[in-house]
Amino acid sequence: MKIAIDARMVGPYMHGISRYAYNLIKGIAEAGKSDQYVLITNDNFLDEFVSAYKNFSLRIVRSRLYGIWEQFEIPRTLRAEKIDIFHSPSFFGPISGESKVIMTIHDMIHVLFPEESSVFHKIYYKMIVERAAANASKVLTVSENSKRDIVKYLNVSPEKIVVTYNAVEKKFRQSNEDKVEEVKRRFGINGRFILYVGNQKPHKNVRFLIDAYGQLKGKINHLLVIVGQRDKLFQKSLRELELEGVTFLSDVPDDLLPYIYSGADVFITPSLYEGFGLPIVEAFACETPVIAVDTLCSAEIMGNAGLRVDAGSVDELASVIYNVLTDDGLRSRLVKQGLTRVKKFSWDETVDRTLGLYDEVYKARSVKKREALHSSSLSYKKSRRIRIGINASKYSDVHTGVGRFTNILCHHISELNSNYDFYMYTAIKANQLHKISGRNVRIRRAGLNLQSNISRILWEQVALPYYSSRDELDLFHYTDHALSVMEGVRPCIITVHDIAFILFPHLFNRTRRMYKKFIFERLINKADIIITPSNSTKNDLKRYCEINEEKIKVVHYGVEKRFLPISKSKVEGYRSRNSLPSRMILSVGTLEPRKNIVTLIKAFAKLREKGFIDYKLVVAGSKGWLYKEIFKEIGTRGLQKEVLFLGNVADEDLPNLYNCADLFVYPSLYEGFGLPPLEAMACGVPVITSNTSSLPEVVGDAGIMVDPTDVNSLFEKMCQILGDSELRHYMKNMGLERAKLFSWRKTAKGIMEIYDDTLKCLNIDKA
C-alpha cells in the first residue's frame, strides 16, 4: 500500500493542525509499518526526518495549502506517484482523482465564524470543502462535537466519520525549574504569569481574558502572557486599553512551548469554539491548572479536570482566576486531575486508529475494483439515456458574444427533439433559467458569484469537473474557452470563440492573460473536439497552436429572429423615450482596446469637420480593460456632447437601438465571429466593419470593410454612406439577405450533429 500525506502545513512554528499532522507522521514512522509513505510538502523542512526512514519519501510541490492550483497539482502528483490512499490533515481535499481520500476535518470555524475568513477563503470553503468531504472515503475528526458539526454543516453521513482525538506529545511534561527560568528570561517574562496560547481571531475571545485580567490589577502580581500569531485587527482594537502587565509573544518555537506551559501558574483558554483545543491537554501534561470558557468542546475534552466559566461573565472569570492563584489546594487538585485526564489522549492510540482506517479503506478499494471488473460499464450506460453537460455559466451575460452564444444554445438545444439528457451548469439564480424547459433538461446551480477571477477559476477548474463526475456525464461541452485540466469526462468538447489573448496579449490584463495562456496550452491537447464560430478562428488555431485540423469543427453563430426592421412609429417612440439623437452612428461592444473605439472617435471627429455636424456617435457597451483611453480621446477633441455612451443596453432593447441608427460602425481589431454587425444587418442598418479576422466571413459583400488602423479610410467610407441615400438603401437590402444565412437554430443543429458524431466515434450509443 502506498500512502501520501499532505504535510504542507508542517514547519518550525506549529499551530493545532500542523502539530496534529507532524505528530501523526512521526507516530506512523515509529509504528514501523512496511507500507510506503510519501510526504507532500512545499519545502525541505522534513528532509532530515524522511532520511531516517527507508519507507518515507518527500515530494515537493509548488501549490500552497488552500491555494487555487492545489486542486490541479495534488491529483496530478498522486497519479504520478501511483498513490493508493491520500490523507489530508486539513480542510483541503481533492474533489476528483483515482486515489482514495481520507480527510481530517478539525472544526467548522469557517461556517460558524465566516467573518474571520478572507474573501478567497470564503469562496474556497463554499466551493471545495463540502465537495471534498463528499469525495472522501472517510472523514476523521478530533471530537464528538466536531463530528456533530460536520454532519450538520457538510451533510456528511455519521457512518463516514471516525473520531480520533488529538493527543499530546511526550515533550509536554513538567519541566526542569532552571530551564523554565532560562526560557522565561529569553522572552522577557519577569515573575509569575498567567498563560494563553493560541491565535487572536475573534472566536478565540482573547479580549474577554484581557478584561478579566484588568479587574485583577492590584489583587495579583502576575503578568498575562499571550503566546501566538498576532492579529492586526485585534491589536488595533487594544490601542485605547491599559495593557500594563500584558506580554505578547508571537515567535515561540514549538520545542520551547513546554517550558512556557510549565512556568505558568494557570492556563486560560477563553475560546468560544474549538474542534479539540490542543493547548488544554498540553497544559494538563505540563501540570498547569486550566480554566476554559464553558462550551460543548471544552466540556468534552476537559471533563472535570479543569474549571469552566460562562462566556458572558468577565466577573466570573476574574473571580475563578483569583481563586486558582490564591488557593494552593485547588491548584494542586486541578494539576492532579489534569494529569489523570491527559492519559485519555494518546498519540499511540490515535496513530493505531488512523493506520487501521488506512487498511480499511484500502481493502474496500480493492473489493470495489474486483466488483468493477465483473460489471460492464457499457451495459450500464445503455440502460439509461446519454448525458451531456453544458457549461452555462455565461447564460445571463448576453451583452457579450460568448454570453449570447451560451444563452441561445441552451434555449435551442432544450427545444430540439433529442434522445439526450442535458445537464446545464450555472452559478446564476435558478429563476433566471425559467425559459429553459424540457423533460430532458436538468439545471445544476452552484449559487456563486463569478465576478472575481478567483471564483471564476475555481468554478471552471474545480466545480465543473466535480459536477461532471457526480452526474456521470458521457460528454461535456465547455462553452467558454476554458476546459478544466482535471476534467475526467471523455469526450470533452470546447468552444474556442477566438484567440485574441494570443494575438493581442497587450489588450488583456496580466492575470487574465496568464490564466488563459496556462489553461489554453493544456486544453487544446485535452479536448476531443474544438468548435470555432468561424473559419478565421479555425485558421488561427491551426497557425498558432499547431492543432490537427480534423479536431476543429466550424459552426457559425446565428442571429435571432427579433433582430429585424421595426416600424418607424415604434422606432421613434423608443428614440424619444431614451433621448436618442435623430441622426446617429452606432457602435455596440465592450469599451476595451480590441474594439478600437479610439479610431472610431478620430474618424468621427474628421466627419464633423467635413460638415456632418447633425450626427451623434452613440456607443453601447460596458466599460472594460483600459477604457479610460477612450474618454481621454474624447476630452482631447472636445467631443463630450457629441459622443453618447449608453452603457449596457437591456437585451430586449437592442433591436430598437439598432433600428435608430443611420449607420453601424464596428472597427474591431480582431473578432472570433462578430455578432453586432450581423445583428445590425438583420435590422436593415448599413454596416462598416474591419477587413480583418472573421468579419469579412460574416459581412461578406453586404457591408463595407476597411483597414481598422486607417482613420482616413474609415472616415471616407462613413462620408460615402451618409452622403448617398441610394447606397444606404442598397446596403440595407444586401444586409437583410446576408443575415438570412445565419440562424441560431442552424447553430444548435450543427452542434448537436457534433455531439452525435463524437459519441458515435466512441461507440456510446443513444438509449
**371-375, 745-749, 759-763: range with highest mean pLDDT:** 745-749
Percent of the chain whose pLDDT exceeds 70: 92
Cα-Cα-Cα-Cα dihedral sign, residues 444, 446, 448, 450: negative
Please tell me the CATH code under which domain 568-742 is placed. 3.40.50.2000
CB atoms within 10 A of CB 749: 15
Confirm if 718 and 605 have CB atoms less than 8 A apart. Answer: no
503 by DSSP, 3-state: which? helix
DSSP letter for each residue of 227-292: ES---HHHHHHTTTS--TTEEEE----GGGHHHHHHH-SEEEE--S--SS-HHHHHHHHTT--EEE
pLDDT-wise least confident of 95-104, 117-126, 387-396: 117-126
Q: pLDDT band for position 417 (50/70/90)? A: low
What is the spatial order of strands in the sheet that 475-478 belongs to? 441-445, 421-426, 387-391, 475-478, 492-495, 529-532, 552-554
Query: Nearest CA to 398 among 622, 194, 98, 85?
Result: 622
Amino acid at 41: T
What residues have CB less than 8 Å from 673, skipping those under 6 apart? 401, 497, 498, 533, 534, 537, 556, 557, 694, 698
The tens digit of pLDDT for each residue in 502-520 reads 887 776 667 667 767 777 7
**512 vs 378 pLDDT, higher one:** 512
Tell me the C-alpha distance between 93 and 103, whole Å: 7
Q: Which CATH number fits domain 381-554: 3.40.50.1820, 3.40.50.2000, 3.20.20.240, 3.40.50.300?
A: 3.40.50.2000
What residues have CB less than 8 Å from 134, skipping those under 6 apart? 95, 155, 156, 470
Instruction: Kindly report the average pLDDT of the chain as a whole number.
Output: 89
520 by DSSP, 3-state: which? helix
Average pLDDT, stretch 482-498?
Answer: 80
Question: Cell numbers 439526450 label which residue?
Answer: 420
CB atoms within 10 A of CB 460: 23
Position 628 pLDDT exceeds 60:
yes
Average pLDDT, stretch 31-49?
Answer: 92
The tens digit of pLDDT for each residue in 187-232 reads 999 999 999 999 989 999 999 999 999 999 889 999 999 998 888 8
733 by DSSP, 3-state: which? helix
Cell of 595: 474594439
Confirm if 475 and 493 have CB atoms less than 8 A apart. Answer: yes
Please tell me the CATH code under which domain 2-163 is placed. 3.40.50.2000
Position 322 pLDDT exceeds 50:
yes
Confirm if 287 and 265 have CB atoms less than 8 A apart. Answer: no
**90-99, 475-484, 535-544, 577-586: range with highest mean pLDDT:** 577-586
Average pLDDT, stretch 246-258?
Answer: 89
Tell me the C-alpha distance between 746 and 751, whole Å: 9
Position 437 pLDDT exceeds 70:
no
Domain ranges of the chain: 2-163, 177-342, 381-554, 568-742
Average pLDDT, stretch 167-188?
Answer: 91
Strand partners, 39: 5, 58
State which fold the 177-342 domain adopts. Answer: Rossmann fold (3.40.50)
**134 vs 734 pLDDT, higher one:** 734
DSSP letter for each residue of 30-56: HHT--SEEEEEESSSTTHHHHHT-TTE
pLDDT at 657: 98
Cell of 559: 442571429
Average pLDDT, stretch 372-400?
Answer: 69
Furthest CA-CA distance within the chain: 108
Tell me the C-alpha distance between 474 and 424, whole Å: 14
Report how many helices (DSSP H) and strands (DSSP E) the chain contains, helices first: 32, 26
Tell me the C-alpha distance between 208 and 686, whole Å: 73
Confirm if 688 and 717 have CB atoms less than 8 A apart. Answer: yes
Position 379 pLDDT exceeds 50:
no
